[in-house]
A and B are shown apart, each in its own frame.
Chain A
């Protein structure tokens, strides 16, 4: 088990190192000069260009040798300093991100966990019912193939614009101030529902299909055949295959995290929901590279932490990993 965690943690550590290095390198070695474009956007008069550029170069630490820039970058990062936002100048990037993070997490966590749970249950049921399976299979593949933002647009159009059941945009009504009254919480929930439903539906299709395929595979496995030949009840065999099929689904959860996060980003954009996705859009529109890079590092860190948590769960669920036999996730 120590070997298992040691290996996993070193991979995550290396990944974080690579991510930070890439993050540092891209602005410095890509064609184009971010400071140039920023100065060009901000300055009105030609005589202010030079002082502006000098100011920004000193401000963002471009006036020292490269190796020192790299070390400074790590130093600042470890102190939680991701630079200053250009879009909301002079707010630090960390505070902008911290302000939007709760909205993204509030969407992502319930959507991921509930869709995983419901998808697995439904997939297991679909696998044992021929009629349900035949109707669900095409629908399920269509659902996994649906771009998140499109489903968001369609849901918003039908349920918010056409029938006016839900609000179209934002996290809460502009007329309300955030507080813990019932009116506000209810308003918050109503705004939360459609983005959540978008994430849930698309992810649900994927989990259900995965579970269905795994169950069918497990029912062909030797242990199922053996149990069958012993005359074990079908329900028992189904239960065993469900538990075995869950293991790859847990690994799948780790692999799909990136895709769901991406889905959350674009869904937020459709609903102008003030999470990380909306911040990303604003950063892109305003050429706010520091904010963009901050969001990138936050997403990478979040995905790595989630990966590690999933590894822990895997160890709890699969005894083979505890006994040093590595299991399937290795």
Chain B
């Protein structure tokens, strides 16, 4: 009942991989690799994300301009000289774009990473310990879950006079973990009741080691997918925050580009090249992350495989 794109037609690239006549992989890792290489969702999503990541790293070397430097004729459309055109002030949009991309990836990795760590800690401890610890952590999780994240971020950011990309990522990470904690808690619950965990407990293995050595590895695929979703979420949250004008006060970001475009009436003047690239990049990156996630789900979950 799954939803895969027609595999053989979309993926002629798989030719290079020696395909065993019968898919009988020896270890689990090579089994995952086997299905991962044959999953177009994972491929396509991964390639798009990789493309933007490479652009973010290489891009700044391709331009000779500064991010805020006035370098060309104002408000000129894309040309050979200015690939993405210029702003109302004559800044190079391409330069801003590649720098903004970098900021997006940093916020995504850092914010998503922090959220994943907090979510995992809360989820593991609540799910494994149970009882009063679970009760307290659960109330905490529910409170942060119902609080509208962006409203909290707006309030915090507004009072910080100097904001950096890292500060932004930390605050996003600290507010976006609850759903991950809830999902991981539910998974931990079911794993904690298994025999091998009981055995570890009986032999006196400390709690921390049981969680890290027995429970976490058994849901590693799930944890990885959680991180991917948090990664995408952090990028979107940062873009929204930047757009309201509460982003990093130094440097450039994709949300800030759109904020500037609106502030300096790019819309009224029809300067589409100013605001289309940043938003399109965010939509493509985050959409590809989600898409990759579906692919990963099919790779890790045998029930979803169609082959």
A: residues with CB less than 8 A from B are 11-12, 14-15, 18-19, 22-23, 26-27, 30-32, 34, 37, 133-134, 137-138, 141-151, 153-154, 156-157, 161-162, 168, 212, 216, 219-220, 254-255, 257-259, 261-263, 265-266, 269-270, 280-281, 283-285, 289, 292-293, 295-296, 299-300, 303-304, 307
Contacts and interface: CB of A to CB of B under 8 A. Distances in A.
25 contacts: A14-B139, A15-B142, A22-B155, A27-B159, A142-B283, A144-B290, A145-B290, A147-B255, A147-B282, A147-B283, A148-B240, A149-B258, A150-B278, A150-B282, A157-B270, A157-B272, A220-B303, A255-B179, A257-B148, A258-B150, A261-B148, A262-B149, A262-B151, A269-B262, A296-B152
B250 interface: no
Nearest to B272: A157
B286 interface: yes
Nearest to A272: B262
B147 A19 contact: yes
A212 B3 CA distance: 10
B276 A15 contact: no
A12 B246 contact: no
A235 B152 CA distance: 45
B159 A15 contact: no
Contact of B244 (A31, A219, A257, A265): A265
A307 B146 contact: yes
Contact of B283 (A145, A293, A295, A303): A145
A31 B282 CA distance: 32
Given A142-B287, A157-B270, A15 B143 contact: yes
Contacts of A27: 159
B5 interface: yes
Interface string B263-287: 0000110101001101110111111
Contacts of B234: none
Nearest to A37: B161
A37 B158 CA distance: 12
A258 B244 contact: no
Nearest to A156: B267
A265 B146 contact: no
Contacts of B232: 145
A26 B146 CA distance: 19
Interface in B28-84: none
Interface of B: 1-3, 5-6, 139, 142-143, 145-152, 154-156, 158-161, 179, 232, 236, 239-240, 243-246, 255, 258, 261-262, 267-268, 270, 272, 275-276, 278-280, 282-287, 289-291, 294, 303
A14 B138 CA distance: 13
B244 A216 contact: no
Contacts of B3: 133-134, 137, 212, 216
Given A146-B279, A255-B179, A161 B267 contact: yes
Nearest to A142: B287
Chain B contact surface mostly: helix
B156 A26 contact: yes
Given A15-B143, A284-B158, A293-B155, A266 B283 contact: no
B148 A258 contact: yes
B160 A30 contact: yes
Given A269-B243, A284-B245, A304 B262 contact: no
A142 B243 CA distance: 20
B133 to A, nearest CB: 18
A18 B158 contact: no
Contact of B258 (A133, A143, A150): A150
Query: What 3 A-B pairs have minimum CB-CB distances, sorted nearest first?
Result: A150-B279, A258-B148, A145-B286
A255 B152 CA distance: 16
Contacts of B151: 258, 261-262, 295-296, 299-300
B146 A11 contact: yes
Contacts of A266: 240, 243-244
Contacts of B285: 145
A257 B156 CA distance: 20
A149 B287 contact: no
Given A11-B142, A133-B3, A148-B240, 5 more contacts: A137-B3, A147-B239, A147-B279, A258-B147, A269-B244
Nearest to A263: B240
B268 A261 contact: no
Contacts of A307: 146
A130 B290 CA distance: 20
A286 to B, nearest CB: 11
A134 B40 CA distance: 12
A168 B258 contact: no
Given A144-B290, A299-B151, A153 B258 contact: yes
A306 to B, nearest CB: 10
A191 B150 CA distance: 26
A9 to B, nearest CB: 12
B268 A138 contact: no
A58 B24 CA distance: 77
A87 B45 CA distance: 45
A149 B240 contact: yes
B244 A281 contact: yes
Nearest to A19: B147
A26 B236 CA distance: 24
A151 B239 CA distance: 13
A254 B232 CA distance: 20
Contacts of B161: 31-32, 37
A12 B139 CA distance: 10
A12 B179 CA distance: 17
Contacts of B236: 145, 147
A279 to B, nearest CB: 11
Contacts of B280: 150
A266 B179 CA distance: 24
A115 to B, nearest CB: 17
Contact of A299 (B142, B148, B258, B286): B148
